[in-house]
Amino acid sequence: MNFKTSETQDMIRQAAKDFAAKYIKPYVMDWDESQHFPVELFKKMGEQGFMGVLVPVEYGGSGLGYFEYSAVVDEIAQV
């Protein structure tokens, strides 16, 4: 099996990593300690296309696959 990622997949992973570093990592401990669920963060994730990774383009999504979806989830989960 070929597990080499494409340039697009690498870019998506890096975009998710950068997003998590900028919008999640600085606040995650405060959110945890105050038991705050950052609903406002989901709008930003949607603006980046992360909320619609698996949604077809004709329905307003990114039209990507499960590899891209798991890459986004993985990078966000690492913070």
The CATH number of the domain where 13 resides is what? Answer: 1.10.540.10
Distance CA 41, CA 47 (A): 10
Average pLDDT of the residues of the chain? 95
pLDDT, mean of residues 27-38: 97
Residue among 22, 19, 28 nearest 46 (CA):
19
Angle 13-14-18 from CA coordinates, rounded to 5° = 120
Report if residue 73 sits inside a domain: yes
pLDDT tops 90 at residue 55: yes
Report if residue 2 sits inside a domain: no
| Total of domains in the chain | 1
Report if residue 46 sits inside a domain: yes
- The structure's pTM equals 0.89
Task: Please give the radius of gyration of the chain, using alpha carbons only, rounded to the nearest integer.
Answer: 14
15: helix, strand or coil: helix
Structural domain that includes position 30: 7-77
Estimate to the nearest angstrom the gap between the alpha carbon of 54 and the chain centroid: 12
Report if residue 51 sits inside a domain: yes
Angle 57-40-9 from CA coordinates, rounded to 5° = 40
pLDDT at residue number 1: 73
Report if residue 1 sits inside a domain: no
